[in-house]
């Protein structure tokens, strides 16, 4: 979608104003650095210093232009420049800067081109530096890619020249201030209430669950919701590259990986954290995303008494999720036969919940699949619930329903053993009533 999203106010962008803006930013920054202003006084100091710096130019810009110029400079110095108001907009879930003149946002699953622009590549670079500097990260020509996190938890990826051919790129996955619940997902039609009850039973029964799906399909949100079913009496260890999970329980230990420093030292990988978690007496281990060799350690944990563990991974469908796990286990460098790896997967994983981003931007659970064991050299997988698309709405959104396949999972006995009673019809296909002939 290319409908422009207008900014709150038009941003002055003539070359002369850009030069003036750069001068004022440098002047205010220099004064603040020399004064060593306290964080609590920074906003007041910026505004006062800006007025002084502007007065020294002896310019007399129209009030509307001057006020907007001041607004932009304050956003640069106190926020994240032109994209600050996009970050403040609660309807926007992702901000994508493709060079200084192309800024897109995602709203309700749709990509929209905005009228927001940066002055030039250097302007974008200033914002990137502002994001990564407090975290001790660096980005330059020798290390042109960086992952970071904003103070509110939003996830940031930045790529600069020469890797980013058209100019510095920033992608920000905003940290939702709304805490999603299963009721909210039912309201959004991401899942049905019937499947929601089933998934609750699976978590309480300590099944090992993988949430799979494509980029931006809602895997982390769903993992957050599912982890909310874990009882308060259990000790949870979460492991992530960038901390995004928000656990409501009290007994939680949160671990985050660390990139190597400029000399390639002091790295703490997800794999190291998974291994360490096993020594922390966890009842549940939750890995935000498996993407490498840590998959082997995760599977071994699931196979050695850490039932009820959960993770996410990128895949196009449940069968692909198993194939990806195979590949990631091989990345661990262990010379294991493929059949042994598959046996590890089949014995460790009980359930794969697959989420998709459908036409029109909707995020929906499209299959709930049991990993039922091995048959020869093949992992046996059975769909318990499957999404069936029935059409497309006039607005271009997919229409359909997530419904049972009629197959009762083999782990249903574990749900019953946990003392959980599901609706007797939860697995039954709802057949259309037949009209008797006259």
HSE-up (13 A, CA, CB side) for residue 302: 26
pLDDT above 50 (res 99) = yes
Name the phi and psi angles at 99, rounded to 5: 80, 175
CA angle 32, 155, 332 (to 5 degrees): 125
Which residues are CB-contacts of 257 (< 8 A; sequence separation ≥ 6)? Answer: 239, 240, 241, 268, 269, 270, 272, 273
Mean pLDDT of the chain: 88
Task: Answer with the residue of higher pLDDT: 223 or 423.
Answer: 223
Please state at what angle helix 294-302 crosses helix 318-330, rounded to 10 degrees.
Answer: 110
Residue count (the chain):
438
Query: Alpha-carbon distance 20 to 13, whole Å?
Result: 11
**Torsion angle of the four alpha carbons 119, 120, 126, 128, in this order, in degrees rounded to the nearest 10:** 110
Query: Measured in whole angstroms, how far is the alpha carbon of residue 431 from the centre of its chain?
Result: 38
Checking DSSP bridges between strand 209-213 and strand 351-357, what pairing results, if any?
parallel
pLDDT tier for residue 132 given thresholds of 50, 70 and 90: confident
Least trusted range by pLDDT, from 12-26, 133-147, 189-203 = 12-26
pLDDT tier for residue 335 given thresholds of 50, 70 and 90: confident
Spatial contact of 81 and 97, defined as CB atoms under 8 Å apart:
no
Query: Measured in whole angstroms, how far is the alpha carbon of residue 148 from the centre of its chain?
Result: 13
Mean pLDDT of 46-54: 89
Q: Long-range contact list for 249-253, CB < 8 A, 24+ apart? A: 253/280, 253/282
Least trusted range by pLDDT, from 110-124, 125-139, 186-200, 305-319 = 125-139
pLDDT above 90 as % of the chain: 51
Cβ-based burial of 328 (10 A; exposed 0-12, middle 13-18, buried ≥19):
buried
Spatial contact of 311 and 287, defined as CB atoms under 8 Å apart:
yes
Tens digit of each residue's pLDDT (9 = 90 or more) over 118-131: 988 998 998 999 88
Mean pLDDT of 171-179: 83
Mean pLDDT of 176-194: 87
Mean pLDDT of 252-273: 84
Mean pLDDT of 317-322: 95
The whole-number pLDDT of residue 31 equals 83
Mean pLDDT of 258-280: 84
Which residues are CB-contacts of 226 (< 8 A; sequence separation ≥ 6)? Answer: 199, 203, 209, 211, 310, 353
pLDDT tier for residue 435 given thresholds of 50, 70 and 90: low
CB contact burial 277-299 (16+ within 10 A = b; e otherwise):
bbeeebbbbbbbbbbebbbbbbb
Name the phi and psi angles at 237, rounded to 5: -115, 120
Please name every residue paired with 96 in a beta bridge, in sequence order, or none if there are none.
104, 171
Q: Regarding the domain delimited by 15-173, which CATH topology (the fold level of the hierarchy) does it fall under?
A: Beta-Lactamase (3.30.450)
pLDDT above 90 (res 330) = yes
The whole-number pLDDT of residue 433 equals 54
pLDDT above 70 (res 362) = yes
Query: Alpha-carbon distance 280 to 94, whole Å?
Result: 35
pLDDT tier for residue 10 given thresholds of 50, 70 and 90: very low
pLDDT above 80 (res 5) = no
The whole-number pLDDT of residue 262 equals 66
pLDDT above 90 (res 267) = no
Spatial contact of 393 and 407, defined as CB atoms under 8 Å apart:
no
The whole-number pLDDT of residue 255 equals 93
Number of H helices, E strands in the chain: 13, 15
Tens digit of each residue's pLDDT (9 = 90 or more) over 408-417: 999 999 999 9
Please name every residue paired with 253 in a beta bridge, in sequence order, or none if there are none.
237
pLDDT above 90 (res 303) = no
pLDDT tier for residue 109 given thresholds of 50, 70 and 90: confident
Copy the structure tokens of residue 398.
């997919």
Task: Answer with the residue of higher pLDDT: 180 or 272.
Answer: 272
Enumerate the H helices of 7-120 as residue ranges: 15-35, 42-55, 63-78, 84-88
Residue ranges of the chain that CATH labels 3.30.450.380? 15-173
Q: Regarding the domain delimited by 182-417, which CATH topology (the fold level of the hierarchy) does it fall under?
A: Rossmann fold (3.40.50)
pLDDT above 80 (res 3) = no
Task: Answer with the residue of higher pLDDT: 205 or 31.
Answer: 205
Q: For the beta carbon of residue 373, count every other beta carbon within 10 angstroms.
A: 14
Nearest to 81 by CA among 216, 15, 172: 172
Residue ranges of the chain that CATH labels 3.40.50.300? 182-417
Greatest Cα-to-Cα distance within the chain, rounded to the nearest angstrom = 94
Give the three-state DSSP class for 77. helix
pLDDT above 80 (res 137) = no
Query: Alpha-carbon distance 101 to 115, whole Å?
Result: 9
Tens digit of each residue's pLDDT (9 = 90 or more) over 225-250: 999 999 999 999 999 887 788 888 99
The whole-number pLDDT of residue 9 equals 43
Mean pLDDT of 206-217: 94
pLDDT above 90 (res 95) = yes
Query: Alpha-carbon distance 351 to 322, whole Å?
Result: 11
Query: Alpha-carbon distance 72 to 67, whole Å?
Result: 9
Mean pLDDT of 349-372: 93
Mean pLDDT of 350-371: 93
């Amino acid at each position: 979608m290319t409908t422009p999203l207008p900014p709150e106010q038009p941003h002055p962008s003539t070359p002369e104003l850009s030069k003036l803006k750069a001068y004022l930013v440098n002047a205010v920054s220099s004064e603040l650095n020399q004064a060593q202003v306290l964080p609590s006084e920074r906003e007041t100091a910026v505004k006062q210093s800006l007025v002084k710096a502007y007065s020294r130019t002896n310019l007399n810009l129209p009030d509307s232009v001057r006020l907007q110029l001041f607004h932009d400079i304050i956003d640069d110095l106190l926020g994240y420049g032109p994209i600050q108001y996009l970050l403040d907009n609660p309807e926007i879930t992702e901000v994508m800067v493709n060079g200084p003149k192309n800024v897109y946002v995602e709203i309700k699953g749709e990509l929209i081109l905005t009228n927001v622009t940066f002055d030039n590549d250097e302007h974008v670079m200033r914002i990137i530096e502002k994001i990564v500097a407090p975290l001790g990260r660096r980005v330059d020509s020798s290390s042109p890619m960086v992952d970071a996190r904003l103070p509110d938890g939003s996830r940031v990826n930045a790529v600069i020249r020469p890797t980013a051919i058209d100019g510095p790129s920033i992608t920000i996955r905003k940290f939702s201030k709304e805490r999603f619940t299963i009721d909210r997902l039912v309201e959004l039609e991401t899942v049905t209430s019937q499947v929601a009850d089933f998934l609750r039973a699976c978590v309480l029964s300590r099944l090992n669950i993988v949430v799979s799906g494509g980029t931006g399909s809602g895997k982390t949100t769903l993992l957050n919701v599912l982890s909310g079913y874990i009882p308060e009496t259990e000790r949870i260890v979460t492991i992530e590259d960038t901390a995004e999970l928000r656990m409501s329980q009290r007994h939680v230990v949160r671990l985050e990986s660390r990139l190597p420093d400029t000399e390639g030292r002091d790295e703490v990988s997800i794999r190291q954290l998974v291994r360490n978690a096993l020594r922390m007496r966890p009842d549940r281990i939750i890995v935000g995303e498996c993407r490498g060799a840590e998959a082997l350690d995760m599977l071994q944990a699931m196979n050695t008494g850490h039932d009820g563990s959960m993770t996410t991974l990128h895949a196009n469908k449940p069968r692909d999720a198993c194939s990806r796990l195979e590949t990631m286990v091989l990345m661990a460098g262990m010379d294991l036969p493929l059949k042994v790896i598959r046996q590890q997967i089949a014995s460790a994983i009980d359930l794969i919940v697959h989420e998709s981003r459908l036409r029109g931007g909707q995020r929906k659970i499209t299959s709930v699949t049991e990993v039922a064991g091995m048959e020869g050299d093949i992992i046996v997988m059975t769909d318990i619930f499957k999404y069936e698309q029935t059409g497309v709405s006039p607005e271009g959104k997919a229409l359909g329903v997530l419904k049972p396949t009629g197959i009762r999972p083999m782990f249903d006995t574990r749900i019953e053993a946990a003392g959980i009673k599901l609706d007797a019809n939860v697995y039954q296909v709802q057949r259309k009533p037949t009209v008797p002939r006259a």
